[in-house]
Chain A
Amino acid sequence: MPRPFLIRHLARNHLQRRLQSTVTYAAPTDAAAGAVPNASPPPPPPAPLTQEQKDLIASMLRVDQAGELGANWIYKGQMAVFENDPKVGPVVQHMWDQEKFHLSTFDELIGKNRVRPTALRPLWEFAGYTLGAGTALIGKEAAMACTEAVETVIGEHYNDQLRELLKIDHPEVAKLRAVIKQFRDEELEHLDTAVVHDAKNAPAYPGLNAAIQQGCRAAIWVATRV
C-alpha cells in the first residue's frame, strides 16, 4: 500500500469521527449522485422553482461567496508568511489555488443568476487575511490548526446546504449540488492536509480550534443575512 494512500485513509477516518456527531457525512454524497437523470422513464418537466426556493438559493450563493472570500484571504495571509518556506509554502499555495477557483465560480454564479453579492466583502477580506497571517505568525502548526478549524466548519456548512438542496427537485439545483459537493470534497481534503501537517501540535490547540470554529460559524450567520 503506497504511503500517501495510507495517510489519506487515516486522515479520512479521523475526519469522519470528527464530523460524525453533527453531520451525516456520506448521505448527501450518495443522494447527490442520484442527480444523474434516470434514462428509463420519460422525465416530466421540472416544477419551476418557487420564489422562496430562489431566495434560499440566492442566500446560499451569497454566504458561500463570503466563505470562499474569507478562505482565499486566509491563505493569502498565510502565504505572506510562508512564501519562501520550501516545505509549507507549496502546500498552502496548492490549497489557495483551489480556493481561488471556488471563489471565481461563486462570483460567476452570483453575476449570472442576479444574486446580490455579499455587502461585507472588505470585512471578510480583512478578517480572513488577519486570521491567516496571524496564525501563520504563531507558527506552521497554528496555521494548519487554523486551516483545520475553518475547513471543518466549511465542510459542515456545505453539507447543511446539500441537505437543504436535496429537498428541491430541479435540474439546475442538481447541477448546483454537484458543484457544492465537489467543493466540499476539496475543502475536506484541505482539512486532511492540515491534520497531516501537525495541526494538532499547535500551541493551545483546543482553544484555538474552538475559537476559530465559533468565529466561522458567527461569520456564516452574518453572511447569510447581509
Chain B
Amino acid sequence: MLAFRRISTSIAGRPAPRLNAVAAACVRALPIARYTQGPGPEANRGNIDYNVHYRADESTRNRPAASQSQTQLAEAALKHVPTMGWTVQALGAGAVDLGYPTVLHGLFPGGGADLIDYFLQKSKNEMRAEMEQLDLASMKITQKIRTACIMRLKLTAPYIARWPDALGIMAQPPNAPMSLRNLGELVDEMWYLAGDRSADLNWYSKRTLLAGVYTSTELYMTQDKSPDFQETWKFLDRRLQDVGTLGRTTAEVTNYLQFGIRSAFGVLSSLGHKTPFDRR
C-alpha cells in the first residue's frame, strides 16, 4: 500500500506498466461516486430493442413434418385403427383404401409406433388450433389448462378402445423416447397456450406436474364408460385441484437453499469467523 502511495506522488519517469497502479491510487483519492456517475455503456440501453423473437410459434423441439404421402396414408390408416389397432395391418388397409398395395405401409418403417407418433403430433397441433380460437385472455390459467386437456383428450376419444394398445406400444423401451418427447411437447404447448413464460425451475415443475395430471387422466379415460366421459372430466378437475399449488414448489426450493447458506454461515459465525450476517 505504502509503495503505491509513493508512486502516486511521483508519476514522472515511471515505466508505463505502472500506470494502472497509478490510476488505482488516483481513484482511491476520489469519492467513489465520481466514477460510477460517469456516462458508462449503460447510457446506451435506450437504443437497444430487447424484443428479440426469433422462434415464433413452435414447440421446443420442432420436428420435420410428415411428408404429404405419409399424411395421406396415416389419415387413411387411422380409420382402420378402431378395428385393427395400431398395427402395420391398419396402415396396409389404409393403403388399399387409397388404391395402393398394402406394402405401402413401409412409408412408416416403425409400423404402429410411427402411426401413434403421427397421431400424437397431429392431435397436439389440432388442440393448439382449437385453443387459439378461444378468448384465452379472459380465462384463468387453470381454466385454460383444463380446457386444453379436455380438448386434447377428446381427440383421443374415437380411438379410446384401442388406446390401451397404444399405451402398451409407447411403453416399450425402444419407443419410450418417442412417447416422452410427445408428452413433453404436449404439456409445453399447453403451458405456452396458458400464457406461462416462466424461465426458472417453475418451467420444469409445471411441466412435470401437468404431465402427471394428463397421463393419469388419459389412463382413467380408457376405463371410463360414462356418457361423454363426464367421469373423466371430474377426475381431471380433482387432479388439477391436487396440484393447485403449482409453482409454489420451486419457490420453496429456493427459500430452502438460502436458508441452507445462511445456516452454513451461522456455523462459521459460531466458530468465531466473521460472516456477512454479523452486521445485521
Contact = CB atoms under 8 A, between A and B. Distances in A.
Direct contact of A and B (CB under 8 A): yes
Contacts of A133: 261, 265, 276
Contact of B40 (A112, A129, A173, A186): A186
Interface residues of A, number: 69
Contacts of A196: 23-24, 27, 35
Contacts, number: 157
Nearest to B31: A87
A14 B23 CA distance: 11
B54 A113 contact: yes
A160 interface: no
A4 B197 contact: no
Interface stretch (B55-63, B71-79, B169-177): B55-63
Contacts of B201: 117, 119, 121-122
Contact of B197 (A105, A108, A178, A185): A108
A88 B27 CA distance: 13
A137 B276 contact: yes
Interface in B1-52: 1, 19-24, 26-28, 30, 32-36, 38, 40-42, 44-45, 48-52
Interface stretch (A5-13, A37-45, A203-211): A5-13
Interface of A: 3-8, 10-11, 14, 49, 51, 54, 57-58, 65, 77, 80-81, 83-84, 87-88, 90-91, 94, 98, 101, 105-117, 119, 121-122, 125-126, 129-130, 133, 136-137, 170, 172-173, 175-176, 178-179, 182, 185-186, 188-189, 193, 195-198, 200-201
19 contacts: A4-B35, A49-B55, A58-B55, A87-B32, A90-B36, A94-B36, A105-B50, A107-B199, A108-B197, A112-B53, A113-B52, A114-B188, A116-B60, A117-B203, A179-B50, A179-B52, A189-B40, A189-B42, A196-B27
